Structure 1
Amino acid sequence: MGESHRTLVTIPNRYAFVDRIDGYLQRNRRASLLLIDVVRFSDVSTSFGHEVGDRILLEIANRIQRLFGHDALLGRVSGDIFGLLIPGWHGERQLRHHYNHLVEHFKAPIYCQDHAFLADFNVGAVPNAPENGDIIKLLSRAEGALKQAKENRYDNLCIARLEDKVRGGRALALKADLQRAMQRDELELYFQPKVRLRDLKITGAECLLRWNHPMDGVLFPGALIEAAESYNMMNELGYWTMTQAFKHALRFRAQGIDVPLSLNMSPTQLYDVNFIPTLRQLSESYGIDLSSFELELTEDIALSNSLMVKRQLSQAKALGARIAVDDFGKGYSNLAYIRDLSIDTLKIDKTFVMGLNENPVNMAIVQAAQLIAASMECEIVAEGIEDLEQLHVLRDSGLRTGQGYLFSRAVPEAEFIELYHQDLSVGSSLAHVHRTG
């Protein structure tokens, strides 16, 4: 459980770490979660390169593991933030002692290729409550504590309790904004068409959240998502989005539009025990089969090897829903995990599509994704198609489906209905697309 790692890849990523904590909490609630942020680590990678940066991060991870012993669970929550679950009940004094122990230990520099690095940390710490078995609640509170530690002027440690009220003027404003947005119907689903490349017919749409802010106009919901994650409201937001998707699907059918809608899934939903019952209930309430929906997961979630995620996805598929892996090729996940997942669609990350003209490696990645998709008998979708040359190259390579600004941005419901009923190639910049058809 607490062995030394020879590479960063073997350290559990965010989703595998969450899964391990979840398993631990089901057996034993006595534990505290620490999120350990390496201060100004981006400067190291910028100055010395990613290889040196990765070796220093690996040394930091192994030192932390040795320092807290084999019973502590270690994970890499994000690039330069580690998670540590320490068994046992801890008061504030004990948690501060752990923090001081960490800081003192790292006063000894880390040496790598003639470079010396002195690690300093921001730490958010939360002791679990005896009645709490909800890992998402514990992680959300720890993330809030870490944000507070970063904002503190003098103290790099923030200890929070599960029942603490969230602090900070900006934080409270974000939470108020989120609650108001949901209560006053300020949120809206937009739809980005998925297009059959052969004839530009719309064959599906991705649902994307937009925020009609009363003062700032239509916003991409970055701040909204941030607030939802910080206040354990991602489930509420996710289920609002799912409900709206079913409502729109009914309205689309009334307009003669029967194409699958894709929904982006948050990790929070996939770790929620109510996820499958809610899907089933929505399908029954609106009388729409789940085969009309595709659940999109980012590659790192889909390939996290989390037993809970696999179970939820398996149950969703059994109900008829399709499963898509978004941003395929972008991450560094172990592709062996993909063999254990039953996937209907792989979406090639837009960075490879947009870079087709500049780098032949991007085309090789697209072709590799096609081979993987063919062996798994699943569909493949190219994201980020922005010009005709990309369209022609992808179509000539055998790719059937794509989405991107060449066809349409994400648009409101009325515009999507209009787009669906018109021929995209008529009277537009795409009029000459069929020349290579």
Structure 2
Amino acid sequence: MRIKYTISIVFFVALVIIEKENNIISRVSDKLILKQTPQTLQPDDSSHTHLKPNGSITTLTKLEPAFTLMKRRLENYTEPQEPRAAGGKHILLLATTRTGSSFVGEFFNQQGDNMFYLFEPLWHVERMLTLETGGTNATAAARAYRDVLRQLFLCDFSPLEGFIDPPPVDHVTAALFRRESSSSLCEESVCSPFVKGVFERYHCRTRRCGPLNFTTASESCRQKEHRAIKSVRVRQLENLRPLAEDPRLDVRFIQLVRDPRAVLASRMVAFAAKYRNWKQWAMDGDVPIDDDEVRKLKGNCDNIRMSAEVGLRQPPWLRRRYMLVRYEDIARFPMSKASEMYRFTEIPFTPQVKAWILKNTQASKEAGGVYSTQKNSSEQVEKWRFSIPFKIAQVVQNVCGPTLKLFGYKFVDSKEMLMDRSISLIEEKVFSFM
């Protein structure tokens, strides 16, 4: 009888312990990103605690893997630390591809020792969430983008690690996309010893570093007063509202836009394989208006316009947090527009940034390539007008008309007008951000 009571007590105590462990895990997991789409990796359910239909525990031996998993999760999870410096700003540069975002991102990448800058960290998230059709689950992607951005602004790289393939080992990876484009990740304090035989595709160019250690990167991030991230993957500004309302953050959203006709012309050159249909239509002269590619163009324009409309309305959650910038204005007046951007973010505009802008907006014709940030910026404004057929420009005007009007881009009604340099297609327009 005594043995029977003892066994009952042991089982009861085991149940209590398991319940407490599960409560802890539940609270912790709420703070982690849950990848809930079919295309993402899911935790191995085989190691979770299993109960029989009547609710009794199978055996204590079978529970051991569950306890091991719980212990591992608790040991590996660390609460993100609060930003170290008071008054630090969190800058998110939002754009789409071929709008000059890499160039504008350098305005913050070149800031110096008080800025931690990341270049396209959401590339990994998008890649893992991409479906076989080539698209993504918009709802799942929006949540993942938002949650990863929040933790990166808090200098916590652990959610991002879950999207990197192959997965980092002990928080070390050689696979971070475009690491070399972030001076913060190539500083001496973050530069780990070089490992012979380890190939890092996006290796630092300023010094010879080993694979990136995210723990070291997090420590460096927390030492910086401000953080900036550049991304072309967020579709709707409204989805980022929780970031603006997070009391731990002081986020400033800068939305960079460009004439959709110029964007398409640039993509047809930079992504020739993806835009081969457009190139064929440009030669044939006929564009099927019901084609998926045309619908995709319209969807992109609509997303950009709707985000800008939200920002320009300045709802309470975005008041003094949103700024709209046209690439054409930056290309024509780089120093004054950069000064405006720094005034908006309330960060000092350093001589280091000014020197970089002077050097990289007066480049020779031989400098750079399609991804280069070194260009004669004033020439880039009009260049597209001589590489896109009038028929293609008309299609863009038809499907992106409201977007063109909102941002102040003039329509063309003939091939002659399109190619006439004396006619500006940019209205002088001021977008208030204060």
Query: What is the TM-score when the length of structure 2 is the normalising length?
Result: 0.30
Structure (1 or 2) with the larger CA radius of gyration: 2
Name the structure with the higher strand share.
Answer: 1
Higher relative contact order (CA 8 A, sep 6+): 2
